[in-house]
Structure 1
Amino acid sequence: MSDTELKAKLRFLPTGSALHKLSALITLLLLILAFSIMSSAFFSVNNGLTVLLQTSVIGLLAIGMTMVIITGGIDLSVGSVLALSGVVTGLLMKAGLPVMPAMALGVVTGGVCGFLNGLVITKMRITPFVATLGMMMIARGVALQLTGAAPISRLGETFGWLGNGALFRVVEMQANGFPKVIFPGIPYPAILLLIMALFGAYLLQRRQIGRHIFSVGSNEEAARLSGVNVDRTKIWAYTASGALAGLSGMVLMSRLVTVQPNEGVMYELDAIAASVIGGASLMGGVGSVSGSMIGAFIIGVLRNGLNMAGTSAFIQQVIIGVVVIGAVYLDQIRNRK
């Protein structure tokens, strides 16, 4: 067989990344099938929309985390940045700022935190693990200090529009004067997740910044010699991760209609788990937004199904931990091959 024929055949063979994503998708479908058999209520419209709503926050975090992981880094600060962004928004609203500008400044707060992460990593040459661990502590401390560790409530119904609103919701007034929900509608957080996932995938696959992110993660020195501005690419990835953490904070706090400075604890681990389960390599250079969405839904479906089965929250953590270890082990096998 000639080299040309061999290359033509290899082009149609699935790569290790594609196989990882395919196995994650099969796992997701098997989980849905298993939980549907265990409980008839699981495979219902209302529960499906609940899973969408619950997964939206982790999914948004996973998009930014995937970009960072592809560069060969890690971002441990997203949970704390989520909380700080919510606190900034709540305080601005209490000061009289309208909801939308306050939320926009909350997202900007997240982006600034991510930008600082990128600067510390690239200019001070501190490893991503240590730099983002420091930001995790700083952001959480600032959030608690600004609020006195107390929640910010009475923010008005408008603040809950993003987290609790839905598209195509059908409500019918009954004869007794009480409303009856005919169709709960598609939650706004799920629509926002879809938009951001499509935009993130477009940036990674179709734009120059995406090619730079992959090249930096694959071989940083080769990327630098090829003319890629490595520092700027890393700063961009961490800024995007921070901004998406801020956006996640808007969705979560809006759902609660209360700003909680203690929210987002351990969310960074869920985001990392979703990315790794979806095929992102902790060695860098490999990953996709679509795979991370599959990983996020695996975590969401697992939690939802185990809750319906009456499994304790502690056992759920054990199960998800085992799933993450398995995904990383598969990643190690892939890298060795």
Structure 2
Amino acid sequence: MPDTTKKQKLRFLPTGSALHRLSALLTLLLLIGVFAFTSPAFLSVNNGLTVLLQTSVIGLLAIGMTMVIITGGIDLSVGSVLALSGVIAGLLIKAGLPVAPAMVMGVVTGGVCGLMNGLIITKMRITPFVATLGMMMIARGIALQLTGAAPISRLGEAFGWLGNGALFRLVEMQDNGFPRVIFPGIPYPAILLVIMAILGAYLLQRRQIGRHIFSVGSNEEAARLSGVNVDRTNIWAYTASGALAGLAGMVLMSRLVTVQPNEGVMYELDAIAASVIGGASLMGGVGSISGSMIGAFIIGVLRNGLNMAGTSAFIQQIIIGIVVIGAVYIDQIRNRK
């Protein structure tokens, strides 16, 4: 009887991953409190929407990166794939294709790059670090070659709808003929991020592919002996990461209303940082979409708060680097235990 009671009590204790997510959430709340104290404008509606917009791209990349990291891999190509996807969409729009199909083709381009990563890793047996590093250079090179390293502009107002539109935006016309924004609305990129995060969490937690991803990351050989198609699982994870990078590219380029082939530099490190801060283990087998979203918002809030405090971009990189090292160190301690 006492043994049964002990088991029942243990069942309600949070796991290490849950504790990591909880600590990340507390860190996020602490950062919000500190920046709200140092700058009264930090908690304004407009600044909150700015944080949502800034975090949406990192969050989309982090969803795909989390899936890859759980398999025990890494994807260094997402920043370059983001840029290439935007370039393809921009060139197709210039060629006369409507905006929506062009954006879909941009996402497909990202998925194809991810598929190539998966095939190179599984069929050629090249380590994920080297394979995705190669794709990072290839995708960036193609983007720069196709555009001559020049931006693609004049893509039309419809191209900016996804990145700059908002749900429930309220605007009234004043007597002087100029519009006045009553409520800026919920940005479409933030809504898209929520939808993709829910879908990603559902796939990881409720579907067979999610169980396979965790089993491959926990022990690849044991997963293979259990009947899991390891190669197909890895290919799926990298394809999903590439497609989400393409989607992030559509959001970012739409916000700029211009395609910039140099965009996305270092974004892969932000995505990795968000996943690790949120509890994903670089050893594989551990991670969650909710944790990665918290990690993405930690990075977004840090950047926004430091910007409002007048901190230089170089100091921001140093601070975020220290945060990432701390998160990885905590992950190593957890793995040892």
Report the alpha carbon displacement of residue 165 of structure 1 after superposing the two structures with TM.
0.2
Report the alpha carbon displacement of residue 2 of structure 1 after superposing the two structures with TM.
4.8
Q: In 2, Cα distance between the equivalents of 1:4 and 1:207?
A: 31
Who is 1:41 aligned against?
41
Report the alpha carbon displacement of residue 5 of structure 1 after superposing the two structures with TM.
3.0
Who is 2:68 aligned against?
68
What does the per-residue CA deviation read over 1:106-151, in whole Å, with 9 as the maximum and x for residues that have no partner? 0000000000000000000000000000000000000000000000
Report the alpha carbon displacement of residue 3 of structure 1 after superposing the two structures with TM.
4.2
Q: In 2, Cα distance between the equivalents of 1:4 and 1:249?
A: 52
- Which structure 2 residues correspond to residues 179-218 of structure 1 after superposition, within 5 A? 179-218=179-218
Who is 1:137 aligned against?
137
Q: In 1, Cα distance between the equivalents of 2:86 and 2:312?
A: 29
Does residue 336 of the first structure (1) align with residue 336 of the second (2)? yes
- Which structure 2 residues correspond to residues 83-232 of structure 1 after superposition, within 5 A? 83-232=83-232
- Taking only aligned residues, the RMSD between alpha carbons, in angstroms, comes to 0.7
Who is 2:318 aligned against?
318
Q: In 1, Cα distance between the equivalents of 2:210 and 2:39?
A: 42
Q: In 1, Cα distance between the equivalents of 2:95 and 2:6?
A: 67
Q: In 2, Cα distance between the equivalents of 1:153 and 1:229?
A: 44
**1:61 alignment partner AA:** L
What does the per-residue CA deviation read over 1:31-90, in whole Å, with 9 as the maximum and x for residues that have no partner? 000000001000111110110011000000000000000000000000000000000000
Q: In 2, Cα distance between the equivalents of 1:169 and 1:265?
A: 32
SS at match of 2:41: coil
Q: In 2, Cα distance between the equivalents of 1:133 and 1:2?
A: 54
What does the per-residue CA deviation read over 1:241-297, in whole Å, with 9 as the maximum and x for residues that have no partner? 000000000000000000000000000000000000000000000000000000000
Report the alpha carbon displacement of residue 4 of structure 1 after superposing the two structures with TM.
3.2
Q: In 2, Cα distance between the equivalents of 1:174 and 1:200?
A: 43
Report the alpha carbon displacement of residue 7 of structure 1 after superposing the two structures with TM.
2.3
Who is 2:58 aligned against?
58
Q: In 2, Cα distance between the equivalents of 1:223 and 1:5?
A: 33
SS at match of 2:274: helix
Give aligned-pair identity as a percent. Answer: 89
**1:322 alignment partner AA:** I
- TM-score, scaled to structure 1: 0.99
SS at match of 2:181: strand
**2:26 alignment partner AA:** I
Aligned residues: 337
- Which structure 2 residues correspond to residues 241-256 of structure 1 after superposition, within 5 A? 241-256=241-256
Q: In 2, Cα distance between the equivalents of 1:92 and 1:221?
A: 44
Unmatched tracts of structure 2, length 5 or more: none
- TM-score, scaled to structure 2: 0.99
